[in-house]
Structure 1
Amino acid sequence: MNTSDTRRRTGGRSARVRQAVLDATVAALAEEGIESVSVAGVAARAGVHETSIYRRWKTREGLIVAALLAHSEQTLPVPDTGSLRQDLSAFARAVAHMTASPLGAALVRAMATTDDSPEIAQSRAEFWQARLDTVRAIIDRAAARGELTTVFAPRLVLETLIAPVHFHALMTREPLDDHYPDQLIDLLLQGLQPHQP
């Protein structure tokens, strides 16, 4: 067996172990709640040694944040309805639905309260980069269709759209009514549309 074969095989196993641990963490969070999740319990669920988890994620909190970020990544697809309003609405509703779920609420709170380690900082950066890529795709398609005549920074659009949703999840913890995402879209689109002189 040559070195390249060994490297490919090891990398594949490492990815499978990582996914198994993240899946086990999400399952534990859903069943037990964030306060009851332990590295030992996750290791038992995933069929790995605790040392394997600590070697990659360093702390229980780092593991939880990484698992929640990975889970969230899979639940927010890029909408493509053919309309800027509908794309933004679909995205805002997906974010609102995610943050209203137990796992989504746990993610928002964990990201706000967990100290940054290099691992958590990297996971957070990857999470927000994926969100920025989603908004960038929405804006680029809208511009190509002629719906926008001015170029807007995707980060500003993203922050304007989802900051109120995260505020509700983190600060007021009040449920969002069905009209709230559309109200956000109305407010955002008024700023995105060109102003008459």
Structure 2
Amino acid sequence: MASEGTAGAEGVGVEGVEPGTVRPGGRTARVREAVLRAAGDALVEHGFDGLDLADVARRAEVGKTTVYRRWSAPAGLVADLLTDMAEQSLPRADTGSLAEDLRANARLVVRTLTDPRQGALFVAVIAAAACDPRTAEALHRFYAVRIGEWSGSVEAAVERGELPAGTDPGEVIAAVSAPLYYRLLASGAPLDQEVADRAAAAAVAAARAGVFVR
């Protein structure tokens, strides 16, 4: 899904993270923020295979010992990066309309995936997850958090009578973003607002037809 606090740029959400976010917590929090931003930069430039803790420490201007002691391995660093991205994600849209909520979700995903930095970051993390179990677990947690957040839109729609009882909220949200990630990772077809709106409309139509009833 989808930011940018530690990982971001240009005001686009990693499925919704505000740029320049700095949370309280003193020096430890500042060090973590600097290291995670540096890790994101390194992933964008070199991919997971090129992620080196000493290089990250240099970029973040912190001691190598600090990085090795806290994260121990590149997989641990990527896992914490994904945790941070999930923690900083913005709340879901709440427009009172399922179609509008899911359109907002789809447009946010597209903005994230087409951002030069964020799109490259997601591709690098997904590639890493394909070959590293710890990164895969962290990626699954990230998307579980994002799907859980946006599932509230579907639950509200069921309560309003927009959708059949028993509709699986997570499946509806996943159906919105799945074709967008397919374009990013498989087909290479363009990603734009029209594509986002079509993905949202398709998910809404399927949900109303009862496709996602458990």
Aligned to 1:172: 187
Aligned-residue CA RMSD (Å) = 2.9
TM-score (norm 1): 0.75
Alpha carbons of structure 1 residues 123 and 56: separation in structure 2 relative to 1, 3 Å: farther
TM-score (norm 2): 0.69
Paired with 1:28 and 1:152, the residues of 2 have a C-alpha distance of 41
The answer to whether the aligner puts 1:181 opposite 2:193 as a matched pair is no
Q: Any conservation in 1 of the 2:43–2:124 contact (CA below 8 Å)?
A: no
Aligned to 2:46: 34
Q: Any conservation in 2 of the 1:76–1:95 contact (CA below 8 Å)?
A: no
Paired with 1:61 and 1:179, the residues of 2 have a C-alpha distance of 36
Paired with 2:137 and 2:70, the residues of 1 have a C-alpha distance of 13
- Aligned counterpart in structure 1 of residue 101 of structure 2, from 67, 70, 87: 87
Q: Any conservation in 2 of the 1:135–1:157 contact (CA below 8 Å)?
A: no
**C-alpha deviations, 1:175-194, integer Å up to 9, x for none?**
21321112112211221114
Give the alignment of 1:34-113 within 5 angstroms. Answer: 34-35=46-47, 38-60=52-74, 62-64=76-78, 66-67=80-81, 70-71=84-85, 74=88, 76-113=90-127
Paired with 1:76 and 1:174, the residues of 2 have a C-alpha distance of 27
Comparing 183-192 and 64-73, the one that deviates more: 64-73
**C-alpha deviations, 1:39-86, integer Å up to 9, x for none?**
333213433222332344343355346436634663554111121111
Paired with 1:56 and 1:48, the residues of 2 have a C-alpha distance of 12
Structure 2 residue runs of 5 or longer lacking an equivalent are: 1-24
The structure that is helix-richer by fraction is 1
Which structure's CA Rg is the greater one? 1
- Aligned counterpart in structure 2 of residue 116 of structure 1, from 132, 138, 142: 132
Aligned length: 182
Aligned to 1:157: 172
Q: Any conservation in 2 of the 1:148–1:193 contact (CA below 8 Å)?
A: yes
